[in-house]
Structure 1
């Protein structure tokens, strides 16, 4: 159920982004292009960002989507954004190579201009600015990776984290909190929590302890499932350490058992050898004594 809900939310978010993107592009346009023609002299890419860096131009498909969206919406006013995006995608797939060529040529032209503008922009940067841009990019990529990982964990059904007693109290009483915005409500909730008596807080403290048990059980089951499907990389560091420690104990126990078995087998072989040697010695003495007796008799 969780993956389907995530997919639905992703489609909705994509549609909203598509709407905002097309709206911003069209707002910069000075005229509405015909539905069957695209002017090569019209650039749909944004010029520069707030810091002066040139922005990358859009590709051929998005150029077509920006052009066609007003016409599709005008013809289908009740159509949802997701359906508009799907319809434009279907139209694009039915275009012939000749019909797509103007959009591709325009996208290629803007791409070449973007490369030139980017080189000029980078040439004006100081070493300190270059280092700052690199650090900003590292932070952006780290944030993006964190978001992707969180979405992946949600789609894989990772249990929700354990809640504190105050979190439980806040989730239940937030709608009743005083204040016109979230910050004011949070402040009033903290004040209200401090005013609670010990026995009143104990109810939420007990529920928080129960939630810890719930979280541990669900996480244990979820991590076992991750091991089964080969996603050991998603296990917590503590779980990995415990698994390594348990594996070492098993290996040590197996080594001890093997060594004991070898020692026992060696002792048995030694005992058997001594027994055989003793029997041979006794037999030899008996044979020698009999021979001596026979000789004395003669």
Structure 2
């Protein structure tokens, strides 16, 4: 079965490709590549015997895997992204009868996937099943985080202020020691630690300025989010408070408590006064 990376890449390229190749000349050139001799019988891509079964590809991605070497042979000079775009254009020009072999293979693979999944889950222990559920929740949470981050980016949310170390790395990354990015980052962190406080002062001041920039931009951005009805993206501390009835009720209870407290104090003083009166009267009678 095709690796998951290819499947995700094909899906993302598909989303980008629908806005490309609108001219008739390009369409004619793309459709000429797809001929009857290039459409080979579609194999049913099954999952691996060991480990959890992988989800099958849909009809379009099966078509991509089949046509990619064909387009590469005809257009060896173009990039991989353009190859996928050409394949997407071909897929849109296919008739329902031409798409049927790919969709039928996908349907058979889905049925086989259900059988393989049941067989695999029957061999798992309860602890392994629980671990799979936890991993699935983590993947979904990560996916939701990515989706939310993309949404915030599309809405123009300003970037957070950079730290002094971030500013130092961005300015000296090119001349850093090391071949890979990880080696360069490690060497720059070591160089940052060896700097004196006076040398770090300029980056600290730049970080403070960037922090002020972020505060101003995030305030105006959140005001705009409130205007367009996206209060869910705004921090709670700038939203209008709606706890006035609760505060009034709390104030009433405090007043009642203070009244009860004063009453208790008054009762205690009366009791003390009454308790001392007999002693004074006894002293007077003795005298």
TM-score (norm 2): 0.67
Q: 1:15 touches 1:81 (CA, 8 Å); kept in 2?
A: no
Unmatched 5+ stretches in structure 2: 1-7, 17-35, 248-287
Structure number with bigger Rg: 1
Aligned to 1:262: none
Aligned to 2:228: 229
Shift of 1:188: 3.2
Is 1:14 the counterpart of 2:17? The answer is no
Q: Secondary structure at the match of 2:240?
A: helix
Aligned to 2:237: 241
Aligned to 1:175: 174
Which stretch of structure 1 is more off in the superposition, 216-225 or 194-203? 194-203
What is the distance in 2 between the residues matched to 1:210 and 1:13?
42
What is the distance in 2 between the residues matched to 1:90 and 1:194?
54
Map 1:180-259 → 2, pairs under 5 A = 180-236=179-235, 240-245=236-241
Q: Secondary structure at the match of 1:157?
A: coil
Q: Secondary structure at the match of 1:244?
A: coil
Aligned to 1:124: 123
Shift of 1:179: 3.4
What is the distance in 1 between the residues matched to 2:179 and 2:39?
51
Unmatched 5+ stretches in structure 1: 1-9, 19-32, 253-298
What is the distance in 2 between the residues matched to 1:187 and 1:80?
34
Q: Aligned pair in 2 of structure 1 residues 56, 184: CA closer, same or farther (>3 Å)?
A: closer
What is the distance in 2 between the residues matched to 1:89 and 1:242?
47
Q: 2:46 touches 2:113 (CA, 8 Å); kept in 1?
A: no
Q: Secondary structure at the match of 2:239?
A: helix
Deviations 1:99-153 (A, max 9, x none): 2222222221111111111111111111000000001111111111111211221
Aligned to 1:35: 38
What is the distance in 1 between the residues matched to 2:178 and 2:93?
55
Q: Give the alignment's Cα RMSD to 1 decimal.
A: 3.3
Q: 1:11 touches 1:82 (CA, 8 Å); kept in 2?
A: no
What is the distance in 2 between the residues matched to 1:187 and 1:94?
52
Structure with the higher helix share, 1 or 2: 1
Is 1:52 the counterpart of 2:48? The answer is no
What is the distance in 1 between the residues matched to 2:89 and 2:153?
31
Aligned to 1:161: 160
TM-score (norm 1): 0.65
Q: Secondary structure at the match of 1:113?
A: helix
Q: Aligned pair in 2 of structure 1 residues 36, 242: CA closer, same or farther (>3 Å)?
A: closer
Aligned to 1:143: 142
Shift of 1:182: 3.6
What is the distance in 2 between the residues matched to 1:102 and 1:231?
46
What is the distance in 1 between the residues matched to 2:99 and 2:75?
24
Aligned to 2:71: 72
Which stretch of structure 1 is more off in the superposition, 120-129 or 188-197? 188-197
Which stretch of structure 1 is more off in the superposition, 61-70 or 127-136? 61-70
Shift of 1:155: 1.7
